[in-house]
Structure formats: structure tokens, C-alpha cells
Amino acid sequence: MEIIRKVHSMGEISSQILAARRTIGFVPTMGSLHDGHLALVRRMKQLSDVVVVSIFVNPAQFGPDEDYREYPRQLTRDTDLLIAEGVDYVFSPEPDEIYPEGPATYVEVEDLSTRLEGASRPGHFRGVTTVVMKLLQIVRPTLAAFGQKDAQQAVIVRRMIDNLFLGTELLILPIVRDEDDVALSSRNANLSSGERRSARAIYRGLFAARAAVEAGERDPEAVVRAAREVVEAEEVLRVDYLELVDGELLRPVPAVEGRMLLVAAVYAGSTRLLDNVEISV
């Protein structure tokens, strides 16, 4: 496995792979890898000739008061994990490689970027789409894998790829959960043991709401309430948002029908956790 630090080196490697008519599978990450990331890597191994994983904590997607500096970084451990998975290249540039003159050119998907996560974290998705666009331009993957854990990100990246005719095929893979059903996240490392115990209520709440729909509940507010009650029963949890939205436009649904997402952002102490379930009627 090779670790690539420079944009021009990654570009040359991709050119050679593509000239040899081999496919590139790409998994963009911010590192501190867990089984959720590795599930994406394994799928890319199955589907493509060469696998590239990027590890880049993207400053442009963090707000001024967010945890960019504290975000966990463990490059040595991460590269060991990726060697064990048979990954071909890790692209891990410094921020000034990706933003040599400051992030002067932005890519933004309107409307979708201002809802949910975007409402709580202004500018976050502009940072995400800008860096994903840059990474896709550098790596030029045939196929790129993202996780359903970040459901809104997946919808927005799909829209960007479609709108800009980027041609990369997008694969969205299911949420990988720990044994206690908490969605794996690099930020889980920040939870105290009590917060971790309480965090299970997020999953329980989402699934209680889904069960309510399966049992015939058709009032969107009642569905959301079913989840909220379970989450709010835990003292250390604070709901940032919890909404039942349609799976494409991410707008709150007027009726319980079609393919929907119940999406949640919940603080456990000072750690912000995301989770979601799909609900289809």
C-alpha cells in the first residue's frame, strides 16, 4: 500500500490506472477508521480493480466553534487497518495541498444543503461538496462509496454528481452499528461510558417510531413523537433535530407514505451524534 501526500502524485497514479483500463473504487474519509468505513472499503475491493481511500480532516466543513482541532486523528493506526484490507492507495494530503490559496472556489448544492444538518451547521455542506468535488477531480474514481449514516450527505453528493455530470458511480452502503446498536462514528470515542449507555436510546427511539408506522401509525407528528419520547427519557441526551422527511428532497412529510427517512442529530453531553432509519410505506 502506498501513502500519497501530494495532489499531483495522486493525479498521476490515477491517470496510469485509468490508462490501463482499470477501475478505481474510492472511499473518502476523515480517518479514525472503524468498521463502518471498513465496510465501504471491503465493498470497493469487491467491485473495483484498484482501491483508493482518502484520509483528510476537511477544515472547510467545520464551523468556527466546531471540533476541527479536536477531531480524532490516528493515521498510523488507520494505515495499518487499510493495509490489512488490501487497499492500494491512501491519499492523505495536508490542508494546504487541497486549499493552496484558501478555499476560494466553492461547490454548493442549493436548498438540500440548508435543511437539517445544514440548518444546524451553516456552511457545513458547502465544505463537504467542495472537498468531495476536489477529491473526485484528483482521484477520478469509477465508483465512490459513501455511508447511509450521513444520509443527507449522501443525497447531496448524489445531486452534485448528477447536476455536474461527473460520471462517477455512487454507492451508498447501510449503517454499520456496534453490538449495542449505536451507529459507529469516529466521534463515539469522545463519549463517557454513561453517555455511551444513553446513546443507545437514539437507535431505540428511531426503531420505536418505525415500529409504530409498521403497526399502522400514519400521523407524521406522532411518529416523530414516538422517537423523541424514547430519546428524551435519557437525561444526558439533547435532541438537536429529529424529523421525518422524504427520502429525496429531505422535506418534512405531510403524510406517512412513500420512502421516508427519520433523521436525528442528538447531543450526548457535548458530543453530537447522527443516526437515521429508513421508513417505507
Residue placing its CB nearer to ligand AMP in the complex, 73 or 197: 73
Nearer to ligand AMP, 113 or 223 (CB): 113
CA distance 67 to 57: 11
Binding mask 119-138 for ligand AMP (x = CB under 6 A): --------------------
| Residue 246 is labelled as binding a ligand | no
Q: Minimum CB separation from ligand AMP for residue 182, in Å? A: 9
Closest by CA position to 239, among listed 228, 230, 250? 228
> Which x/- pattern over 9-48 shows residues binding ligand AMP (rule: CB under 6 A)?
--------------------xx-----xx--x--------
- Per-residue buried b or exposed e for 160-182, using 16+ beta carbons within 10 Å of the residue's own CB: bbeeeebebebbbbebbebeeeb
Pairing type for strands 169-173 and 50-55 reads unpaired
186 annotated ligand binder: yes
Of 11-19, 142-150, 199-207, 222-230, the window that binds ligand AMP (rule: CB under 6 A) is 142-150
Q: Which is nearer to ligand AMP, 36 or 118 (CB)?
A: 36
Distance between CA 160 and CA 19 in Å, rounded? 26
Three-class SS state of 19: helix
**Three-state SS annotation for 254-277:** CCCCCEEEEEEEEEECCEEEEEEE
8 a catalytic residue:
no
- What residues between 149 and 208 interact with ligand AMP by CB under 6 A? 149-150, 173, 175-176, 183-186
36 in a labelled binding site: yes
- Closest to ligand AMP by CB, 51 vs 256, is 51
Give the Cα-Cα-Cα angle 62, 240, 144 (nearest 5 degrees). 50
* HEC readout, 56-109: CCCHHHCCCCCCCCCCCCCHHHHHHHHHHCCCCEEECCCHHHHCECECCCCCCC
Binding-site entries: 30-37, 61, 147-150, 153, 176, 184-187
Positions marked active-site: 37
Q: Which residues bind ligand AMP (CB under 6 A)?
A: 29-30, 36-37, 40, 146-147, 149-150, 173, 175-176, 183-186
- Binding-site members for (R)-pantoate are 61, 153
